[in-house]
Amino acid sequence: MNKVAVVGAGSMGRQIALHCALKGLDASIYDVSGTVLSAAREFSGDYLDSRVAKNRITPELRDDTIGRLKFADSLESCVDGASVVIEAIIEDFAPKATLFEVLGHLCPRSTILASNSSNIVGSRLAAVTEFPERVVNLHFFNPVLVMDLVEVVLHPAVTPEVERKALAFCKEIDRTSIVVRKEVPGFVVNRIFRALTREAMNLLEGGFASAEDIDLAVTRGLGHPMGPFYLMDVAGVDVTYLARLDEYRETGNEAAKPNEILERLYHEGRWGKKVGKGFYDYPENFEKREGR
Ligand SMILES: NC(=O)c1ccc[n+]([C@@H]2O[C@H](COP(=O)([O-])OP(=O)(O)OC[C@H]3O[C@@H](n4cnc5c(N)ncnc54)[C@H](O)[C@@H]3O)[C@@H](O)[C@H]2O)c1
């Protein structure tokens, strides 16, 4: 693998590109918004400086990484020469489909076209793309610079060669990969997360235990690093609510229907840590308590 291209420099894209550059790949990133692209450049510099300051990386690695990371001013220059293109743009099918159609024409057949989408499966994007056999989901987790897993999600058109290359790419960037052999909403991790949070909310709504105690039960009794309520606050109550609503509308699956408490918190604007309130309240000097 020589070069990876990332399209979309928001919270996920900027971390994916930076991680790949840290692991020795040439990485190019592009965003329709010049402001976002500048913010991604600043984020990368600040992150690398802080790693040097904490003695986690050498100044040489920081400088080499900066040298490998390019902030492209056009989609064409971003994807030029890339073996893997990772789409990390807004979670909306129409712009993603338009982008994949363009990428299908711009990139040679050997280039893997991957979506980082949490919900929109590769086969839907493959359908609008020239050579659909090279479209997969490469699903990274937030924060990408910390979380080790990538879900490689396949659909029937994907060839064994593309699967092999996708797994080799994950290995090259030092990430653990799992293969999801059939597309399913939420893939593996988010399905398990949804089952856990659904049951936690059922227990809370039924008055069986408090959010604090359910979180403690999961951290101390199951050994999870965070309890489900604290985790939803970190991930964003809005993100959890909208993902559940989307799955419910798509599938009609009653188990996916957002719990009443989730719906209420969403409409009250209690979207989690980022707004200072969710299942818990976060005073400005909030420190994470063990078990939350
Ligand atoms: N945020 C998460 O925790 C998370 C986790 C896993 C996967 N994902 C997935 O990653 C993708 C990106 O999520 P995010 O949180 O980084 O979003 P974000 O809103 O932070 O960033 C999206 C970026 O895409 C840019 N963009 C929009 N249309 C574009 C186009 N046509 N070409 C180039 N850039 C374009 C926007 O300007 C924006 O900067 C989504 O599909 C999401 O489902 C997100």
Q: Each residue of 110-148: pLDDT tens digit?
A: 999 999 998 889 999 999 998 999 999 999 998 999 999
Find the residues whose C-beta lies inside 6 A of ligand 1.
7-13, 30-33, 36, 88-91, 95, 99, 116-118, 140, 142
Residue 95 CA, closest ligand 1 atom number: 31
* Domains of the chain, earliest start first: 3-180 (3.40.50.720), 190-275 (1.10.1040.10)
Beta strands in 75-118 (DSSP E): 84-87, 112-115
Q: How confident is the model at residue 292 (pLDDT cuts 50, 70, 90)?
A: very low
Ligand 1, residue 33: give the atom nearest the CA.
37
Residue percentage of the chain with pLDDT more than 90: 84
pLDDT in tens, 267-291: 999 999 989 999 999 987 555 544 4
| Span from the CA of 116 to the centroid of ligand 1 (angstroms) | 8
pLDDT at 60: 98
* Residue 85 CA, ligand 1 centroid: distance in Å: 14
Q: Nearest 10 degrees: CA dihedral of 276, 281, 282, 284?
A: 80
Q: DSSP assignment, residue 220? A: I
Q: What is the pLDDT of residues 168-226, one digit of tens each?
A: 999 999 999 999 999 998 899 999 999 999 999 999 999 999 999 999 999 999 999 99
The average confidence (pLDDT) of the chain is: 94
Which residues, including other chains, have CB under 8 Å from residue 148's CB and lie 6 or more apart?
Answer: 175, 176
